[in-house]
């Protein structure tokens, strides 16, 4: 099953590389920027979690694993007393010193961080950092949150930016399970997979 999931990831990474390459003029992601790994829920399916954990445990040293384990315990403690667990947000436990300690094995949603997206209903959404002067900020109107024709005009030598269909819902659709022959399984916020016995069920 993990081999087939790996084939799907290879296919996905190739597609995403093309998308990122085409959006290069609008993207400012760089090493050390970890804002998209903070204060979010990080939806993760069972197979993503198994793949991530296997990869992480086989590729990191004891010290790194201890840090992540401590991060997980700390987050779960805060979650335990949170009033609204459904909306609970946290910094990803795999984030260490502004870098992903499981980068090669990260989840699907992490692979799309930074791209402008076209949602199921056709609505275009930009990454939150657009409004902090980062991705797509050179062409998006901060008030309307839409593409600004004036701003695009000032960059007339460039192609207009595009929103791709890379929503988590779409990328974990059963169409891909059927094509690549694996199951995503249950989906939930990443941290909930660390609640006792979650992966055993
Ligand atoms: S797994 Fe890595 S890339 Fe994904 S949210 Fe966590 S630290 Fe960020
Ligand atoms: S998407 Fe935005 S916040 Fe995330 S790494 Fe790129 S520039 Fe930073």
Cβ neighbors of 155 (< 8 A, separation 6 or more) are: 25, 138, 139
Instruction: List pLDDT tens digits, range 169-185.
Output: 999 999 999 999 999 99
Residues 44-63 pLDDT 10s: 999 999 999 999 999 999 99
Tell me if 199 is assigned to some domain.
Answer: no
Residue 182 resides in a domain:
yes
Q: Is residue 111 part of a domain?
A: yes
Beta-carbon contacts of residue 192 (< 8 Å; ≥ 6 apart): 198
**How many domains would you assign to the chain?**
1
Position 73 pLDDT exceeds 90: yes
Q: Whose CA is nearest to atom 6 of ligand 2?
A: 29
CA of 135 to the centre of ligand 2 (A): 7
What is the residue range of 81's domain? 2-194
């Amino acid at each position: 099953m993990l081999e087939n999931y790996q084939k799907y990831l290879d296919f996905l990474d190739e597609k995403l590389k093309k998308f990122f390459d085409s959006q290069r003029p609008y993207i400012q992601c760089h090493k050390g920027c970890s804002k998209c790994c903070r204060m979010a829920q990080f939806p993760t399916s069972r197979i993503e979690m198994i793949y991530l954990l296997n990869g992480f445990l086989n590729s990191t040293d004891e010290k790194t694993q201890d840090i992540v384990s401590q991060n997980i315990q700390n987050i779960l403690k805060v979650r335990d007393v949170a009033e609204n667990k459904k909306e609970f947000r946290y910094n990803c436990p795999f984030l260490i010193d502004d870098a992903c300690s499981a980068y090669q094995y990260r989840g699907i949603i992490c692979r799309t961080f930074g791209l402008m997206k076209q949602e199921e209903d056709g609505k275009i959404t930009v990454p939150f950092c657009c409004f902090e002067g980062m991705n797509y900020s050179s062409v998006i109107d901060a008030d309307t949150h839409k593409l600004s024709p004036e701003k695009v005009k000032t960059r007339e030598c460039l192609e207009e930016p595009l929103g791709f269909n890379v929503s988590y819902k779409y990328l974990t659709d059963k169409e891909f399970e059927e094509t690549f022959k694996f199951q995503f399984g249950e989906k939930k916020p990443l941290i909930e997979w660390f609640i006792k016995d979650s992966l055993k069920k």
